[in-house]
Amino acid sequence: DTEVTQTPKHLVMGMTNKKSLKCEQHMGHRAMYWYKQKAKKPPELMFVYSYEKLSINESVPSRFSPECPNSSLLNLHLHALQPEDSALYLCASSRLLANTGELFFGEGSRLTVL
Amino acid sequence: DQQVKQNSPSLSVQEGRISILNCDYTNSMFDYFLWYKKYPAEGPTFLISISSIKDKNEDGRFTVFLNKSAKHLSLHIVPSQPGDSAVYFCAASGMNYGGSQGNLIFGKGTKLSVKP
Is A37 in contact with A90 (CB distance < 8 Å)? Answer: yes
Residue B82 has pLDDT above 90, yes or no: yes
Dist. CA B91–CA B32, nearest whole Å = 8
Predicted confidence band of residue A99 (pLDDT cuts 50, 70, 90): low
Give the single-character DSSP code of A106. -
- Dump pLDDT digits (tens) for A26-35: 999 999 999 9
B95-99 average pLDDT score: 54
Angstrom distance (rounded) from CA A3 to CA B13: 31
Mean pLDDT computed over A2-27 = 93
Which run of H or of E encompasses B19? strand B19-25
Coil, helix or strand at residue B48:
strand
pLDDT of residue B12: 98
CB B5 within 8 A of CB B109: no
What does the pLDDT look like over B49-77, one tens digit per residue?
999 999 999 999 999 999 999 999 999 99
pLDDT at B100 exceeding the cut of 80: no
Quick one: pLDDT band at residue A96, thresholds 50, 70, 90?
Answer: confident
- Containing B44, the helix (H) or strand (E) segment is none
CA–CA dist A53, A98 (Å, integer): 15
DSSP state of A6: E
**What is the predicted pLDDT for the residue at B84?**
97
Residue A97's pLDDT is: 74
Give residue B102's pLDDT. 64
CB contact residues (below 8 A), chain A span 33-92, against chain B: 33, 40-45, 48, 50, 55-56, 58, 90, 92
Give me the pLDDT at residue A57, please: 81
Q: List residues of B whose CB lies inside 8 A of any A CB.
A: 4, 9, 31-32, 34, 36, 41-46, 49, 51, 89, 93-95, 100-109
User: Nearest CA to CA, how far is A25 from chain B (Å)?
Assistant: 14
Task: Point out which residues pair with A39 in neighbouring strands.
Answer: none
Helices and strands: H and E segment counts in chain B: 0, 11
